[in-house]
Structure 1
Amino acid sequence: MNIEPLIAYLSKYIHLSTDEKEILSEHVSYRKYLKGQFVVQQGDVCKYESFVVKGCLKTFYIDSEGQEHIVMFAVENWWAADLGSFITQSPADYNVQCLENTEVVQFSYEKLEALYLLIPKLERFFRIIIQKAYVASEKRIIGNFSLPARERYLEFREQYPDIEQRVPQYMIASYLGITKEFLSKIRSQIISK
């Protein structure tokens, strides 16, 4: 089980002793998903908080008319889950689906709760990353209300460098809340400058 990318990521925020790394490795699982597989589906309880070692996922919901609305992408060193469902252990509002063959390190709800007791500094770590995710979500909401589509696209490129080579344009358009035709127009205007 290769959890070194997770250990490296954690070390940006907290220091784990050799014993703590061993405890951590005993409480997580390593899983491979195929392109198209779901980590969680709307209506199911999100069982895992997943750290992406390799691959790309999208978090989205399907509205009552069957329209897909992408709220997040997750690539290497990002986290993927329906966080509300995971924390409350209630049915998920979102789907999390692999856009590529994907490898993740997963924390089950029960094992994460146990880890908080065994390695208290992990609770601090998760508080920090959840705070960062909350701030990013708030900024995204404000941006969606106040920024023109071109500016939202430029912010997307900054937040997800190189992802345009990994996901179809219609998914980027969905994330931005615009049509793929409008996204194509924005991109051609930026390239021609």
Structure 2
Amino acid sequence: MMYQELLDHIKKYVQLVPHEEQVLVQRLEFRKLKKKEFLLEPGKLCKGNYFVIKGCVRQFFINKKLGEQIIQFGIENWWIADQDSLLNNQPSTCSIQAIEETELLLLKEKDRIILFKEIPLLETYFRIMMQISFVASQRRIGYIFNMTEEERYRHFAKLFPGFVQRVPQYMLASYLGFTPQFLSRLRAKK
């Protein structure tokens, strides 16, 4: 049952046959994180791609001012990983931490490469996931350069109203590129 969310997600993009689904499921590892528990820390290798079944995680780094800069969040039906660490087989420069109790499926990088040969449609699926992620990153960068802080917040809140209520205010501010104090003033002025 814990694999069904992932299989349903994959079906939105490619159609695997039951045997292929079984081969995939055998290569997945279930992980459960407590709130504030780390999945990845700087200096460690990212083990693979994580599919969030339930909960919420954040990927962040500590900037030169010793502040947390959130790169991305991972919620239900999203993938998260340090792609730089995976692609270049180098220690991570960021952290991935649970914001809530979280359940994930880990697909180790070596297994993903094997699965691409055994199930070519999985390579198509992951290419689509990377494209979606890349487009989201491009849009976010565009919003940072082309919108005021208030416009960014209003736009994000309109697109993801439940998410705005779900994550702590200081994390949302970090992700959107402004201070928690600015976000407090903005919310107060509604």
With the length of structure 1 as denominator, give the TM-score of the two structures. Answer: 0.93
CA shift in 2, pair 1:94/1:77, >3 Å? same
Alpha-carbon deviations, 1:12-63, whole Å to 9, x = none? Answer: 0000111011101111111111111111112211112000000001111002
Local SS of the residue matching 2:161: coil
**Unmatched 5+ residue regions in structure 2?**
none
Aligned: 1:90 with 2:95: no
The answer as to 2:62 corresponding to 1:54 is: no
Gaps of 5+ in 1: none
If the length of structure 2 is used for normalisation, what is the TM-score? Answer: 0.94
Which residue is equivalent to 2:122?
Answer: 122
CA distance in 1, matches of 2:155, 2:8: 27
Write the letter of the residue equivalent to 2:178: I
Tell me what 1:27 maps to. Answer: 27
2:112 corresponds to: 112
Tell me the residue number matched to 2:5: 5
C-alpha distance in 2 between matches for 1:86 and 1:95: 14
Deviation of the 1:103 alpha carbon: 0.2
* Distance verdict in 2 for CA 1:165–1:87, change over 3 Å: same
- Cα offset, 1:160, TM superposition: 3.3
User: How many residue pairs end up in the alignment?
Assistant: 190
Who is 1:177 aligned against? 177
Q: CA deviation at 1:73?
A: 1.2
Q: Which moved further from structure 2: 9-18 or 169-178?
A: 169-178
> Matched residue of 2:66: which SS?
coil
Partner of 2:100: 100
| 1:166, distance to aligned residue in structure 2 (A) | 2.1
Q: Which amino acid aligns with 1:49?
A: N
Match of 1:139 in 2: 139
1:104 CA displacement: 0.4
Overall identity of the aligned pairs, in %: 38
My pick for the range that moved more, 16-25 or 40-49, is: 40-49
Distance 2:159 2:108 in 1: 28
Moved more, 177-186 or 68-77: 177-186
Distance in 2, Cα, partners of 1:188 & 1:66: 27
Spell out, residue by residue over 1:143-167, the C-alpha distance to the aligned partner (whole angstroms, 9 max, x if none): 1112101111123224433123322
1:150 and 2:150 are equivalent in the alignment: yes
When structure 1 is superposed on structure 2, of 105-114 and 82-91 the one drifting more is: 82-91
- Cα deviation, 1:74-126, whole Å, max 9, x if unaligned, reads 11111111122122221112211000110001100111011101101100111
User: Structure 1's 159 and 45: CA in aligned 2 closer, same or farther, altered over 3 A?
Assistant: farther
Superposition CA RMSD, Å:
1.4
